[in-house]
Amino acid sequence: GALGGLGLALGLWRRQVALAAAREDEEEKELRQRFMAPPVSGLRELRRRRRELRSRMELLIMETQAEMCRALAALDPGASFVVDSWERKEGGGGISCVLQDGEVFEKAGVNVSVVSGLLSEEAARQMRSRGKSLKAKDGKLPFCAMGVSSVIHPKNPHVPTMHFNYRYFEIEEADGTIQWWFGGGTDLTPTYLNEEDAVHFHKTLKEACDKHDLKLYPKYKKWCDDYFYIKHRGERRGIGGIFFDDLDSPSKEEVFQFVKSCAKAVVPCYIPIVKKHCHDSFTPEEKLWQQLRRGRYVEFNLLYDRGTKFGLLTPGSRIESILMSLPLTARWEYMHNPPESSREAEILEVLRNPKDWVH
């Protein structure tokens, strides 16, 4: 009798193991279909460590990439994303998804990167200059950084350029202490001002922030206006949005949930604007103004953007993916000034004096 009971228990256990394995395979298949490519850390590893924040963040950035790519592809059915998975010999890798020369988008890129290794001296210096006290062991600082980053340059000058980036950092200090923080933001760069679009964009981001704390949107809206400032031009890169960095309180879980709300807002804050304007007619003069504004975009990204600088200072980083943010075409004209009271002058006024769009 005892042996029969043992056999029964063994059979039951085997069936449970088989069911669990089948469930895992089903889950894996579903995840594969959900993403643009297999995750850098591998699905099995992510599942094994699914309660750890690093794994949850990697799943979030993979989902955000797929959601944005699918939403963009649906608007530009004649074009397709090149999906490029890459490895970094120093540790980690990434997935770059880039659409070029479509009907609607001249260039749209959505990148994911998950990298680890030792922080370069220059990158550590850049972080210390922001008030980080990083205690290295024998001059070495192990780090892990992951994020999703996107820049979308539409063909039509009446559709704004949009950028978003959400990232997570961990650095291990000499005594084994882990320093961690989140950063990110979403911002809009129109060629021509459309107040209705500006209000929709900012309201959507404000709603994402308000779920967590009513103080966040005004604080991060101002931070965005201050950060995307082209000093030598005395103007902002665009009409802003939200931006934050070095966020490490109130708790890891609460900050992660806030970042998740922001990441989930990127499609609803932007895609309706593209749908609304992608078939608007435009003149050669309007296209020319778009090219000149793109020149300003390039100036900011190459001279001031911290993410670009960090990428260029990280050994083994992938330059093609870092410079994905640059448009296919841009223009620099000597001493170009738009006529007073023109629609071109109107956007310049807002870039020099940021507005409150939601109150």
Give the helix/strand (H/E) hosting 156.
none
Catalytic annotation, pick one of 153, 163, 200, 277: 163
Give the distance from CA 202 to its chain's centroid. 17
**Helices and strands (H and E) in the chain: how many:** 12, 9
- Which of 49, 5, 15, 46 lies closest to 28, judged by CA? 46
The pair of structure tokens assigned to 172 is 């291990």
Give the helix/strand (H/E) hosting 232.
none
Torsion angle of alpha carbons 231, 237, 238, 243, nearest 10°? -80
The pair of structure tokens assigned to 297 is 């975009």
Catalytic (active site) residue 212: no
Phi, then psi, of 271 in degrees rounded to 5 = -55, -40
Instruction: Express the helix, strand and coil content of the chain in percent, nearest 5 each.
Output: 45, 20, 30
159, 354 Cβ separation under 8 angstroms: no
Residue 248, phi-psi category: left (phi > 0), alpha (psi -120 to 50), beta (remainder) = alpha
171 to 117, 122, 140, 248, 349: CA distances (angstroms):
10, 15, 11, 13, 41
Q: Reduce the DSSP state of residue 108 to 3 states and report it.
A: strand
- Max distance between CA atoms of the chain, in angstroms, equals 97
Q: Which residues pair with 148 in a beta bridge?
A: 112, 166
Beta strands in 224-356 (DSSP E): 229-230, 235-236, 240-247
Side chain identity at residue 220, one-letter code: Y
180, 168 Cβ separation under 8 angstroms: yes
Annotated catalytic sites, by residue? Answer: 163
